[in-house]
Structure formats: C-alpha cells, structure tokens
Structure 1
C-alpha cells in the first residue's frame, strides 16, 4: 500500500511555528516549524530528529489575525497537543497527534 493510500486525513502545506518538548521533566525544547499538517499529525524539518517512539508535548503557535473566525483579545493562541514520533529521517521527523488538545492564549511578557 502506498503512503498516500494509508493517509486518512488531507494534508496541508503549512508553516506553523511549534515548540516541542520531550514528555519528561527537565527536557530541552525544540523550536521548529511544520512543513505539512493534517488533523492527525505534522512533519517537522530538523537536522536532529527525535528517536521513533518518543512521546512529546507540542505547542502550535497560531496567529489569530489569520484566523478570522476566532475572536480574542490576544494576538496569538497555542494549540497544546501530545503526540509520538512515528518516523525519523535525516532531514526531519513525523509526529502523530493523540486526540487530547486544548487552546491556550499566548500571554505576552
């Protein structure tokens, strides 16, 4: 079966800033940008992908001005997700999202 046949969700070529943390205390954070996104996961270009099977927490940073249907006093909102690295390559990694997520306003400091 080809990769395109296995995909259930439509993928979109979108560059969305993201903060990725390994799901353990005192883990470093990666600041990456998505290459493509679907409702089930995303691909991130990085020269140092995490190992397959690594559980991660992901904050996708969305610009509210580009999302005209959302109204908020904040300029950005985080979509906080959890997922697992399912594929790594020399130039990046694929992360599969689980079904738990929440929207959180970005607090300017």
Structure 2
C-alpha cells in the first residue's frame, strides 16, 4: 500500500453543468471579426447550460467563434437553468422560443463538434414560436 501517491484515479470527465440528451434545432453562424457568416441548420445531440454537442459531418475548425440560435421549450429552458430575465420568462412561459448564444468550438468527434458557451453568455428569447 502506498500513501500520498500522486497516481490517484480521477474521473475521466468532470462537468460543471449537467448535460442532457436533447435533439434541438440549432442555427449556426461563424463569427470572423465583425463578419457573421451562416454555417447551417443543424441538430444538437446534447446540451447543458455551459455548452452543447452539435451533430455534423463537417465540423468547423477548433477555436472557431460561433453564434447559435436554438429552438427550445420552456420546460427545457428551466431544466437547463439558462439565464433569462423575469420579463423573458413571462413572455415565453409555456411556449417554445428561439434563444441565442455565442461560443467556441473546442473538440471534434466523428459525428460532430463540441461547443463551449462564452463565460459571460446570456441567452434571451429571439421570438416566441406559435
């Protein structure tokens, strides 16, 4: 038995935010300086309040800055603990809404790309869906 060993077993993955399997429509645009160029309409594989994994067979390069718009239900907004103003919550209560975020591509996998939302992200309803 060894004591004080530096070779302690740590979990392979430690997430700050609970991740949920949700297949949400997401509009993705590449941000390059002052330019914003549409990339396409994709689907999330999973999402948390800190980031998302977006399914695509043509991921953007790692470190790409992107803008995203998600169509998400009110129930899922509450589950993900997105930051919304009281007025925004009142306006979208019970209805799906488009919300926006910006972030950075941090990883590729065979079926998509992982995106971390900006530290100071603020999601807000874009438009209420009928």
Task: Tell me, yes or no, whether TM beats 0.5.
Answer: yes
Name 1:60's counterpart in structure 2: 70
Number of aligned residue pairs: give it: 106
Name 1:37's counterpart in structure 2: 47
- Distance in 2 (CA, whole Å) between partners of 1:3 and 1:35 is 20
Name 1:89's counterpart in structure 2: 109
TM, length-normalised to structure 1: 0.79
Unaligned runs of 5+ in 1: none
Larger radius of gyration: 2
Tell me if structure 1 keeps the 8 A contact 2:98–2:128.
no
Confirm or deny that 1:79 pairs with 2:87: no
Consecutive aligned runs of 4 or more in structure 1 exceeding 3 Å deviation: 69-76
TM, length-normalised to structure 2: 0.68
Q: Which has the higher strand share?
A: 1
Unaligned runs of 5+ in 2: 1-9, 79-88
